[in-house]
Chain A
Amino acid sequence: MGVTKEDVETTLTSTLKPTHLEVVDTSGGCGASFEVEIVSEQFEGKRLLERHRLVNTALAEQMKQIHALSIKKALTPAQWKPEDKAQE
């Protein structure tokens, strides 16, 4: 059993305390490829590279099994625009 979407969500939730988190399994169910959108106060004052590093570090253990992780958005709550929420 590989890494699941729930594993990724649980880990990111506990480490980065996101105000918004969306994990999409893009693997067709084999659990090895994900897309992530994350909004967290911990990104405040950090460049995109540092934000992505925080996500990668949080998932360090899972990354050994994940083939592809695409961080589509890593925003602060202030940058998270209301129109992005329209789809929810």
Chain B
Amino acid sequence: SVRCSSGLSPELKSTLDKVVNSHKVLLFMKGNKDFPQCGFSHTVVQILKSLNVPFETLDVLSNEAFRQGLKEYSSWPTFPQLYIDGEFFGGCDITVEAYKSGELQELLEKTMLS
């Protein structure tokens, strides 16, 4: 069935604008950094921990409005979603690739200095 999602109201959008800019590194995930509730979220948490970068996590399982709104806000259908410096960076696969290539570390170092 085709149903137009009203996931992202103007109010929610402006809330998300503030939230994604509230931390230099922010991960929207299933669970939290101490108790990830999905393997993909767990992977990204492990990568961020190994890079020794301060980061915040937000559990989308406990916030259904964020969970639905973010899909539209990021134009990304799944979680986790990593935001760096207020910008959507990617999901699990992209983060893993960027970690392997060193691109993630480079970007995080630059972000931390800015």
Contacts and interface: CB of A to CB of B under 8 A. Distances in A.
Contacts of B77: 56, 60, 63
For the residues of B in contact with A, the DSSP-based class is mixed
B72 to A, nearest CB: 12
Interface stretch (B9-17, B55-63, B91-99, B106-114): B91-99
Contact of A49 (B40, B90, B92): B90
Interface residues of B, number: 14
B75 A52 contact: no
A72 interface: yes
A46 interface: no
A52 B91 contact: yes
B78 interface: yes
Assign chain A's interface to a size class. 10 to 19
B73 interface: no
A10 to B, nearest CB: 19
Q: Looking at A49, A52, A56, A72, which has the most chain B CB atoms within 10 Å of its CB?
A: A49
Contacts of A53: 75-76
Contact of A48 (B40, B78, B92, B98): B98
Given A56-B77, A63-B77, 17 more contacts: A48-B97, A48-B98, A49-B88, A49-B89, A49-B90, A49-B94, A52-B91, A52-B93, A52-B94, A53-B75, A53-B76, A56-B76, A68-B40, A68-B78, A69-B78, A70-B92, A71-B93
Interface of A: 48-49, 52-53, 56, 60, 63, 68-72
